[in-house]
Amino acid sequence: MASPTSGEREKVTSKLPGQLRARVKIRAAEHQFDMQDVVTQALQAWQQAGSQAVVDTSGAPPFSTWLPLGVYDTFKAHCADRKVSYIQGLAQALELWLADHPSPQEEHVATPHPRRRIMANQKGGVGKTALTAGVGQAYAEGTEHDGPARRVLMVDFDPQGHLTTQLGVDNLALDSDSLVKHMTGEAKGDLADLIVPIEDERFGDRLYLLPACADGFVLDVKLSTIRAREAALERALEPVEEGFDVIVVDCPPSLGLSMDSAIYYGRRRDEEKTGASGVVIPVQAEDSSADAFTLLTGQIEDLRQDMRLEIDYLGLVVNMYDSRRGFIATSSLQAWEDIGDPAVVAVVPDRKEQREAVRSKQGLLVYDPKCDQAAAMRQIARTLS
């Protein structure tokens, strides 16, 4: 609600998650902005940006600020058009403002390396493939608000080949060259020859896939026989790195040597800034994801200590979330948010569009670029920019 005052502004009262409010307050101070000006900018940008990812606002405490006359009325009209609550619209707007105003303390340092996002969780069915495809597309798409379009390579490191199939590409034949053969020194050609474009006008000539091959099912056995096996994935991908700004790796549901190699590939290299590359962990709001998370982080910590590596957690993505599933879902989401480090960078709603995109063998941002899940993928790309 808004109450008019005698000046040029009116007091607006709403609700806002405490953690989001704290982040905005800190970022506003870093940029020397007044909070009421931040909210004004955020609401106006949100109205121009289109659909955004859903923000969890359950239990949000009251929040108030002063806005120029008419700003809040216009905002409420846009909320009605988008069928979102005023609280949800405000939260989305401020998340968008944060993405558009990165901290001066976190400015990117140019390096000769692509940014590497390792999508990892040994539990199957948590959405690693959907996240790899969606975020890869979001990076390649680029918009005024989501940042510049990037050259992206998606690596299907899972021998089941779900990413490859989902994008309408054939898996590599067993008797052909493959990523596995390049990792184990058995390849006869160049890895670049295996990479295929994902063609759509949304992505220009910027989105590519390294398809899967079923020989990945024996990768752990083969890695056990080679030297410096943790660096095998890096050695294989290094010849093509210079052609890409971002490399997104869809990992298999495994805790074996192949996962060691993927985690090692995502380590922070000497020239890189903290958070430039690292591990993204898709989870679901249910108990078995928590058990899997403990196993994966244990493996990462072992590699950190044994090899003295710097491995950054880029964040948790709570996938296929639906609060209508009741206490298990809502309490699990709260438990993920309570971890704090790694932080929950997005909550992706459970919607039919992702399943329909898979069935149609199209990327989500091609099949339905305006759906809630597509907006969530763009939010993740912004957050992990």
Please report, as a single letter, which amino acid is at residue 328. Answer: I
User: What does the pLDDT read at residue 4?
Assistant: 44
Distance between CA atoms of residues 50 and 368, nearest Å: 13
pTM: 0.74
* Angle (nearest 5°) at CA 85 between 81 and 88: 110
Banded pLDDT at 78 (limits 50, 70, 90): very high
Tokens read off for 130:
């959907």
- Count the neighbouring beta carbons within 10 Å of the beta carbon of residue 103: 12
Asked if pLDDT for residue 329 goes beyond 50, the answer is: yes
Predicted pLDDT of residue 259? 94
Q: Are 216 and 258 in contact (CB under 8 A)?
A: yes
User: Are 355 and 366 a contacting pair, CB within 8 Å?
Assistant: no
Displacement of CA 86 from its chain's centroid (Å): 26
Contact between residue 287 and residue 129 where contact means Cβ atoms under 8 Å apart? no
Q: Encode pLDDT of 52-72 as tens digits.
A: 888 888 878 889 999 998 999
Q: CB within 8 A of 79, min separation 6: which ones?
A: 85, 86, 88, 89
246-250 β-sheet, strand order:
196-197, 207-210, 152-156, 246-250, 115-119, 278-284, 313-321, 344-349
Average pLDDT, the chain: 88
User: For residue 262, what are the CA distances in angstroms to 9, 144, 230, 257?
Assistant: 53, 32, 8, 9
**Per-residue pLDDT at 6:** 42
The yes-or-no verdict on residue 105 having pLDDT over 70 is: no
Give the Cα-Cα-Cα angle 301, 305, 310 (nearest 5 degrees).
75
- Write out pLDDT tens, residues 192-246: 999 999 989 889 889 999 999 998 999 999 999 988 899 999 999 999 999 999 9
Distance (Å, rounded) from C-alpha 332 to C-alpha 209? 34
| Model pLDDT, residue 122 | 85
Classify residue 82 as exposed, middle or buried by CB count within 10 Å of its CB (0-12, 13-18, 19+): middle
Cis peptide bond prior to 342, omega within 30° of 0: yes
Over range 263-269, report the average pLDDT: 95
| DSSP assignment string, 113-145 | S-EEEEE--SSTTSSHHHHHHHHHHHHHH-BTT
Strands (E) in 198-312, as ranges, are 207-210, 246-250, 278-284
Strand partners of residue 321: 349
- Kindly state the average pLDDT of the residues 362-369: 90
Note the pLDDT tens digit of each residue in 293-310: 889 999 999 999 999 999
